[in-house]
Amino acid sequence: MSRLQVVSGKGGTGKTTVAAALALALAREGKRTLLVEVEGRQGLAQLFGAEALPYEERKIAVAPGGGGEAGGEVFALAIDAERALLDYLQMFYKLGSAGRALKKLGAIDFATTIAPGLRDVLLTGKACEAVRRKDKAGRYVYDHVIMDAPPTGRITRFLNVNDEVAGLARFGPIHNQAQAVMKVLKSPETAVHLVTLLEEMPVQETADGIEELREAGLPVGRVVVNMVRPHHLDEDTLRTAAGDHRAEVARALSRAGLGGARRGGLAERLVEPLLTQAAEHAGRVELERAQRTVLAGLDLPTYELPLLGAGVDLAGLYELAKDLRKQTVAE
């Protein structure tokens, strides 16, 4: 798999959860992974039940191995644009304490707020630096970097802003930095995954996002269908669920010992809510089938993750990681 995995998705689809599960899944293969947060929401810290992530790489989880393999580690980093700009000023201009003085004066915050695209350049640049970083032995420090990226509607501009900056600055450190970042982002080292639900709006936004990414020359990875609900009815039952079968259902309930079939009895009172639920379930299944057809037309590999009834806690996150790993191994 690509060394930089960017995870995006419409708000509410669980992209942060998927990013965390992907990092754990890769770590289960014995890989050293880095989870990067760029939106300042501290969503990763909440998922792992940890304190707020600082602007430094911190080990946040250890994943057990599978199939006789040794497990790996997951590190996490919350990238702060101001701190990243201070690093940048020190790296290229050796400002040191002068850079810190600029921060006290509010110039750093002003620059990252006003300068077009500068904040995104700093955020993507920091992630790409982690992808390229090697130790003294010449080995990559991280096998994979997983970025919990902005939502689908903003992802192409977020990743492609370095091209804009490179066009504005024709030479010098800013130009070179932007070009180096774009070299990583548009290479086979990178894959942009989009998270969706089996609902019309998220699926349409996913299709639009994929088209934009492809037009920008950014490498699209996989579609992850999250929070997939189980189907409780077989095909024959689904076909008849929307029909008027009150009398049959009432007799079946009566035979099951849920009261007599007399008018006003328990069996009769249960008929309407049961038929309503069955019709709603049948309608949802048809809607999901239609959305799967749309996703199939995108011609991309697709993973599916189940809806966890109790919500996503740390144990649930490890379960999702195990599920993801099974699907990656099966490819």
Is residue 186 within 8 Å of 217, Cβ to Cβ?
A: yes
SS3 category, 284: helix
pLDDT at residue 220, rounded to an integer: 97
pLDDT at residue 110, rounded to an integer: 46
Question: Could you tell me the CA-to-CA distances from 147 to 83, 105, 192, 281, 327 in Å, in that order?
Answer: 18, 31, 9, 35, 20
The verdict on 69 and 163 lying in the same domain is: yes
Q: How far apart, in whole angstroms, are the C-alpha atoms of residue 212 and residue 209?
A: 5
Question: Could you tell me the CA-to-CA distances from 42 to 23, 98, 106, 145 in Å, in that order?
Answer: 16, 29, 24, 17
The verdict on 30 and 125 lying in the same domain is: yes
The verdict on 86 and 206 lying in the same domain is: yes
pLDDT at residue 328, rounded to an integer: 79
The verdict on 20 and 105 lying in the same domain is: yes
The verdict on 120 and 265 lying in the same domain is: no
Q: How far apart, in whole angstroms, are the C-alpha atoms of residue 27 and residue 5?
A: 14
pLDDT at residue 81, rounded to an integer: 73
Quote the number of domains for the chain: 2
pLDDT digits (tens), the chain, 331 positions: 689 999 999 999 999 999 999 999 999 888 999 999 998 888 888 899 888 888 889 999 988 776 556 679 999 999 877 777 777 665 555 555 544 544 554 544 545 454 556 778 778 888 998 999 999 999 999 999 999 999 999 999 999 876 666 555 566 666 777 788 889 999 999 999 999 999 999 999 999 999 999 999 999 999 999 999 887 666 665 555 555 566 565 555 556 555 554 555 555 566 666 666 766 767 778 888 899 999 999 999 999 999 997 778 889 999 999 999 988 765 5
SS3 category, 146: strand
Closest CA to 142 of 73, 63, 60, 91: 73
pLDDT at residue 178, rounded to an integer: 77
pLDDT at residue 114, rounded to an integer: 47
pLDDT at residue 107, rounded to an integer: 45
The verdict on 10 and 140 lying in the same domain is: yes
Strands 4-9 and 32-37 turn out to be unpaired
The verdict on 173 and 265 lying in the same domain is: no
The verdict on 215 and 238 lying in the same domain is: no
The verdict on 273 and 295 lying in the same domain is: yes
CA dihedral 88, 92, 97, 99 (to 10 degrees): -50
DSSP 42-79: -HHHHHTT-PPP-SS-EEEEEE---TTPPPEEEEEEE-
Q: How far apart, in whole angstroms, are the C-alpha atoms of residue 309 and residue 312?
A: 8
The verdict on 237 and 216 lying in the same domain is: no
The verdict on 90 and 218 lying in the same domain is: yes
Range of the domain at 288: 232-299
Q: What CATH number is attached to the domain comprising 196?
A: 3.40.50.300
The verdict on 166 and 292 lying in the same domain is: no
pTM score of the predicted model? 0.82
Q: How far apart, in whole angstroms, are the C-alpha atoms of residue 146 and residue 157?
A: 19
Q: How far apart, in whole angstroms, are the C-alpha atoms of residue 236 and residue 250?
A: 19
Half-sphere exposure in the Cβ direction for 250 (13 Å, CA): 15
Question: Could you tell me the CA-to-CA distances from 203 to 39, 212, 234, 307, 327 in Å, in that order?
Answer: 23, 14, 25, 17, 21
